[in-house]
Structure 1
Amino acid sequence: MTRRAALCPSLLLAAALLAGCGGDTATVASASTGGASAPSGSAAPDTSADDGTGGGTPDDGSATAPPFEGDTAPATQEASADAQVTVTEIRTGRQDGYDRVVLELGGTGTPGWDVRYVDQASSQGSGSPIEVAGDAALQVTVTGAGYPYSTGVEEWAGPDPLPGNGTVTVTEVAWDATYEGTSVAVVGTTGEAPFRVYALQDPTRIVVEVADAG
């Protein structure tokens, strides 16, 4: 992996975004399907009873999620037409059998994402290499993003890179930039492990969970 030059300071797939703190639910689909339905035999994570043993805050995801059925294929979800969001915080944490990375966002509309392993992560605009510790790089591209002066929301400013918080597979998260409607973070991992992505609301979050490497 290579390290980027700093630019501006500044997750089974799909999501049902339901209002109500403590009552969030998310429909998780296979990362390879790009669809909005849960994979056969799985249930949506129970996001109302996170035990907080991982990093972040309650409702960042679920400590009682269904069996991990992710894979290594790209996961994508379109943003709403009115999306103008800014990443305000990034958190990492550990759950039983997988690590979690949470991108919290402020602004309007529903963000989208493109999450995939890349051979070489490169900074938006400049093309400079993004360096991240680990043997693989999981690039998380948030779509429907806006600059802070457009969203009125202060953008996350580090630490960069953000180290894993008791994680096993996730090594760190490197922040790139917001550029022409997208914001990028690169998750360093110990290998190309299966992952899943979903979204939660109140506040808006994109949750990327990476299974323990086999």
Structure 2
Amino acid sequence: MGDGTTADSAAAGAGRPVTLTDVRLGAHDGFDRIVFEVAGEGSAGWQVGWVDEPRAQGSGAPVEVPGQAFLGITLTNVALPGDEEAGAVRWQGPERQGIADATVLEELVADTLFEGAYSFFAGTDRRRPFAVGTANSPQRIVVDVLAEDPATPAALTQRCESPAGFSLAYPQGWSANPGETVAACTRFAPDPFTVPPNTDARVGAVTARVEQAPFQQVAGPGPGDELSRRATTVGGRSAVRVERVSVGEGLWPAGVRATSYVVDLGGGAEAPRTLVVDTVGLPQFDYARNVGVLDRMVETLSFGDP
């Protein structure tokens, strides 16, 4: 799940609405966990973030939640009662849950299922870092609320320029490829590494590449299920941030998540160029940490002539 942050987390559901079948809590060393189990052929989405005042969906009425801070958790793409897929048994409470050995969680309060969105509020002593992720077999959305603040991320004290026409900073202590096998400053990792020749082996925790294709084509639908998409700008250029999960087609096995920034470098119809900077959740990588590194590195991007 990674260290977590206090930033909002959101992902879109996909396919047929799913049925919420179970909600349970767990106390662990250093964090408390909330698990939402769902059933169905589709996937649930979520919107998680701290709220100033818990209020019910639809009516806007106050919701009584113990604690000094309130983490709002809304599951999306949830089937309404009576619309469940065959064999799915809908969760029916309890409305309030707590655990005796909890470190930070005082109580989880269920609100309402309204227009396909099921909302909950977790009461804690203060706003703390949290992390949101998924698990499969069965499908689960997992929210961890951390007891301690995460370690301060390594400063982006190093910078390099790629011959492809961009430069960016990367964390202190990390390594970048020198350009012997592939273009310089296109592979970054926390440990020293070598890029093997004539292979697609993933050796960079964060990688950057320029594709000779139009931005709209590269930024369009790709292999796997799309979890989230956000339009943004990078260095004054149009860009999108996309998170996907593999379904077993292409390079990665099913269930592998990847976060990518796709940046329009222009070039016109005759010589279009698009920059892709990404990280992939393969077993050898700390995906949650690397997504945070990716987000910070992309903020430092600047562009020149290739």
Larger Cα-atom Rg: 2
Counterpart residue number, 1:183: 118
CA distance in 2, matches of 1:165, 1:75: 27
Q: Deviations over 1:23-58 (max 9, x none)?
A: xxxxx5xxxxxxxxxxxxxxxxxxxxxxxxxxxxxx
In structure 2, relative to structure 1, the CA distance for the partners of 1:104 and 1:201 (3 Å cut) is same
CA distance in 2, matches of 1:206, 1:72: 18
In structure 2, relative to structure 1, the CA distance for the partners of 1:192 and 1:108 (3 Å cut) is same
Return the offset for 1:142.
0.5
Q: Equivalent of 1:143, from 65, 69, 76?
A: 76
Counterpart residue number, 2:3: 69
CA distance in 2, matches of 1:168, 1:174: 17
Q: Superposition pairs for residues 101-112 of structure 1, below 5 Å?
A: 101-112=34-45
Three-state SS of the structure 1 residue aligned to 2:40 is strand
TM-score (normalizing by structure 2) = 0.46
Q: Superposition pairs for residues 118-197 of structure 1, below 5 Å?
A: 118-152=51-85, 153-197=88-132
CA distance in 2, matches of 1:83, 1:190: 37
Amino acid at match of 1:141: T
Where does the alignment leave 5 or more consecutive residues of structure 1 unmatched? 1-27, 29-67
In structure 2, relative to structure 1, the CA distance for the partners of 1:173 and 1:77 (3 Å cut) is same
Residues 132 and 144 of structure 2 are in contact (CA less than 8 Å); yes or no, is this contact kept in structure 1?
Answer: yes
Q: Deviations over 1:105-164 (max 9, x none)?
A: 122311110100000111111111111111111011111111131124333222221113
More helix by share: 2
CA distance in 1, matches of 2:6, 2:16: 27
Return the offset for 1:179.
0.8
In structure 2, relative to structure 1, the CA distance for the partners of 1:134 and 1:110 (3 Å cut) is same
CA distance in 1, matches of 2:57, 2:90: 16
Counterpart residue number, 1:200: 135
Residues 71 and 196 of structure 1 are in contact (CA less than 8 Å); yes or no, is this contact kept in structure 2?
Answer: yes
Deviating beyond 6 angstroms after TM superposition, the runs of 4 or more aligned structure 1 residues are none
Residues 50 and 127 of structure 2 are in contact (CA less than 8 Å); yes or no, is this contact kept in structure 1?
Answer: yes
CA distance in 2, matches of 1:108, 1:126: 31
Q: Deviations over 1:148-193 (max 9, x none)?
A: 3112433322222111351110111101111111111111111100
Counterpart residue number, 1:209: 144
CA distance in 1, matches of 2:96, 2:120: 10
Residues 110 and 119 of structure 2 are in contact (CA less than 8 Å); yes or no, is this contact kept in structure 1?
Answer: yes
Amino acid at match of 1:108: E
Amino acid at match of 1:128: A
Residues 93 and 165 of structure 1 are in contact (CA less than 8 Å); yes or no, is this contact kept in structure 2?
Answer: no
Amino acid at match of 1:161: R
CA distance in 1, matches of 2:59, 2:119: 13
Count of residue correspondences: 147
Q: Deviations over 1:39-95 (max 9, x none)?
A: xxxxxxxxxxxxxxxxxxxxxxxxxxxxx5211110011111x13112221111111
CA distance in 1, matches of 2:62, 2:76: 21
CA distance in 2, matches of 1:107, 1:166: 32
Higher relative contact order (CA 8 A, sep 6+): 1
Counterpart residue number, 1:54: none
CA distance in 2, matches of 1:86, 1:196: 23
Residues 30 and 148 of structure 2 are in contact (CA less than 8 Å); yes or no, is this contact kept in structure 1?
Answer: no
Counterpart residue number, 1:78: 12
